[in-house]
Structure 1
Amino acid sequence: MNISRVVLRPLLTGSALAAAAAGAFLAWGNTELRRFELKKVTLPILEPGTLQGAEAFRILHISDLHMIPGQKTKIAWVSALDALTPDLVVNTGDNLSDAAAVPDTIAALEPLLDRPGMFVFGTNDYWAPQLPNPLNYLVGKRRTPSYVDLPWRDMRAAFIERGWQDATHARLEFKVGQLRLAAAGVDDPHHDLDRYAEIAGPPNEDADLSLALLHAPEPRVLEKFAADGYQLSLSGHTHGGQFCLPGSRAIVTNCGIDRERVQGLHDFAGMAMHVTNGLGTSKFVPFRFFCRPSATLISVAERPR
């Protein structure tokens, strides 16, 4: 009897089965990238009578497109969100994942650019993605950007030309219908690009709704927005965890926020906080597990009398 053959054959068979299972799991994780979901939440924080009989003020929150040229399914799905007729569109950054992706990004957002909108950017708008170290991601070590420039200025110019407002280190006040909005935003705090001192202070007390925009939900910045009295913060960056356990339970958050608040609507020091799963991933990590890409329609309603 050949002892080595008896021992090795089960090992080789087991290795082949493990490799096949791993391949199938990765293939499933890749197909999840195209299974977009629309999430809907209601947030009753407006003073009674503010909406003058309307049911809600609807905010479409999108983030983390990470667009790559040729993603036709994503373009079609995002464009179709215009049928929701949101009152306001908020984009919290990381639109790009390729130097040639601006035209497709604009194509995806085309109908939404005709609606009132605001945006802040993430570092993946400014600099090209690079192959990450998976171990660093799992242990929560912050990556160093590539510092290879992307054409974010062209994208910003297109947004502004169509009427969207840049909230980066800016305090904005405007009306949508009869609702008076006060908003402020910072640049990506995950890589310390934020300069909160430039926007510090309470929002206009005459505003009906105050919004805080930041790409990454870093607690040190959220604390400042909450202390200044903003009612709702909007951010992305986390991808909802991207690699989750069943039930969309995040393993890591890729920022300072805790795993329990890595996605969805939560409270942060008395301020409502919404973190979206986002609509894409880095082109170097094209997988999602138990965490499908999504956008969220937030219905801001009046408090009960």
Structure 2
Amino acid sequence: MGVGVACVAYGIGIERTAYQVRRFSAAVLPPGAAPVKVLHISDIHLLPRQDRKRDFLLGLAGLEPDLVVSTGDHISSAGAIAPLVDSLGRLAEVPGVFVFGSNDFETPTFRLPFRYLFRSTTGGTGEEAVPLPTDDLRAALEGLGWTYLEERRAELEIGGRPVRFRGTGDAHHHRDDYAAVAGPASDDVLEIGVTHAPYTRVLDGMTADGVPLILAGHTHGGQVAIPGRGALVTNCDLPPEKAKGLFEHTAGGRTAQVHVSAGVGMSPFAPYRFACPPEVTLLTLTERPPM
């Protein structure tokens, strides 16, 4: 009993604000391309009072990324939009793209903690969610110069070279429509797929179309993990060993690199982490080996 209480106290009092930057490399660029640094941010779930989180976000410009990709669940209250923009600071000077998660549309609702840990769920315990000013949030992020990607394609110049994007809405709440952006990807231009929840139907579609890199969030890395074993759940249809990090996904005879972020925050009704600290990722893209 005492060990369990100590773990909960650690998860609430220490690890939930033990923010870190993870680093990976992915060989996905066309031959001859210079490396590109991508800052992947997800699941901020910001509340205005979260000063430590805001300070962490404010320092991320020091990583000097070439591109920012945000994969949703930016806020947990309507009052967090202005603090979010302030906290992103000099990242407004960096090209960026974004999609939304469910908590960009409505406030989080209470969930029994053990229900979250042992099954995937799209609902709460009966409490009615409050709509959020999603249009205002979108306008604020677009005001940074970032591009909204849900069921949209876009092309940006990153490091003097074109990079193409395709994105979907939140598959966890069936807002996704990959058919709206489907189609073969070019081998000569890097294309990045962006989505909130990494359900296999979205990963399969993008991978089979030849998209070499897919970024997602939503899972919180499982939020609670067992040291030496890993996450218990992903809150989607991926297996627990793919709750976070960089891994390969194969569909339609093609293989993509997928990065799932464990995210910066969590629901205010589940303010804990264990063996899964909050994170952003600096992903360095390098040229792929010759065919």
SS at match of 1:26: helix
Matched residues in 1 for 2:233 and 2:77: separation? 25
Q: Paired residues, what number?
A: 282
Give, in angstroms, the shift of residue 206 of structure 1: 4.3
User: In the alignment, what sits opposite 2:180?
Assistant: 198
Residues 23 and 32 from structure 1, CA distance in 2 versus in 1: closer, same or farther, beyond 3 angstroms?
A: same
The equivalent residue for 2:115 is 136
The residue correspondences of 1:1-305 to structure 2 (distance < 5 A) are 18=1, 20-30=2-12, 31-51=14-34, 56-144=35-123, 146-207=128-189, 209-247=190-228, 249-269=230-250, 270-304=255-289
Extract unaligned runs of 5+ from structure 1. Answer: 1-17
Equivalent residue letter for 1:32:
E
Structure 2 residue runs of 5 or longer lacking an equivalent are: none
Separation (CA, whole Å) in 2 of partners of 1:230 and 1:77: 31
Q: Which runs of 4+ in 1 moved over 4 A?
A: none
Q: Partners in 1 of 2:92 and 2:134 — Cα distance? A: 16
Q: Deviations over 1:224-266 (max 9, x none)?
A: 0001110100000000010100147001111111111110000
Higher radius of gyration, 1 or 2 = 1
8 Å CA contact 1:248–1:290 kept in 2: the answer is no
Q: Which amino acid aligns with 2:223?
A: Q
**What SS does the corresponding residue of 2:26 show, helix, strand or coil?**
strand
Give, in angstroms, the shift of residue 304 of structure 1: 4.0
Cα distance in 2 for partners of 1:273, 1:280 equals 21
Say whether the 8 Å CA contact 1:33–1:292 is kept in structure 2.
yes
Q: Secondary structure at the match of 1:100?
A: helix
Write the distance in 1 (CA, Å) between the matches of 2:271 and 2:62: 28
- Distance in 1 of aligned mates of 2:55 and 2:143: 22
SS at match of 1:153: helix
Q: Larger deviation: 91-100 or 101-110?
A: 101-110
Letter matched to residue 33 of structure 1 = R
1:197 is paired with a residue whose SS is helix
TM-score, length basis structure 1:
0.88
> Equivalent pairs: percent with the same residue?
39
Q: CA deviation at 1:205?
A: 4.9
Cα gap change, 1:187/1:25 in structure 2, threshold over 3 Å: closer, same or farther?
Answer: same
Please give the secondary structure, in 2, of the residue aligned with 1:127: coil
Between the aligned partners of 2:289 and 2:209, the Cα distance in structure 1 is 24
- Which deviations, in whole Å up to 9, do the C-alpha atoms of 1:94-135 show, x marking residues without a partner? 011123211221122122122100000000110111110334
- Residue in 2 that maps onto 1:6: none
Deviations 1:55-74 (CA, angstroms, capped at 9, x unpaired): x1010000000101111111
In 2, the alpha carbon distance for the partners of 1:272 and 1:100 equals 36
| CA–CA distance in structure 1, aligned partners of residues 199 and 3 of structure 2 | 36
Distance 1:211 1:304 in 2: 18
In structure 1, how many angstroms separate the alpha carbons of the residues matched to 2:267 and 2:82?
Answer: 18
CA contact (8 A) 1:248 1:291 kept: no
Residue 234 of structure 1 aligns to a residue in which SS? strand
Please report how far the alpha carbon of residue 303 of structure 1 lies from its aligned counterpart in structure 2 after TM superposition: 2.7
Contact kept in structure 2, 1:212 and 1:225, CA below 8 Å: yes
Structure 2: how far apart are the matches of 1:301 and 1:44?
5
Match of 1:8 in 2: none
Q: Deviations over 1:31-75 (max 9, x none)?
A: 211111100111122232122xxxx10100000001011111111
Whole-angstrom CA distance in 1 between matches of 2:212 and 2:263: 22
Over the aligned positions, Cα root-mean-square deviation in angstroms equals 1.5
SS of corresponding position for 2:32: coil
Q: Partners in 1 of 2:19 and 2:239 — Cα distance? A: 24
SS in 2 for 1:223: helix
Normalised to the residue count of structure 2, the TM-score between the two structures is 0.92
Cα drift, residue 290 of structure 1 = 0.2
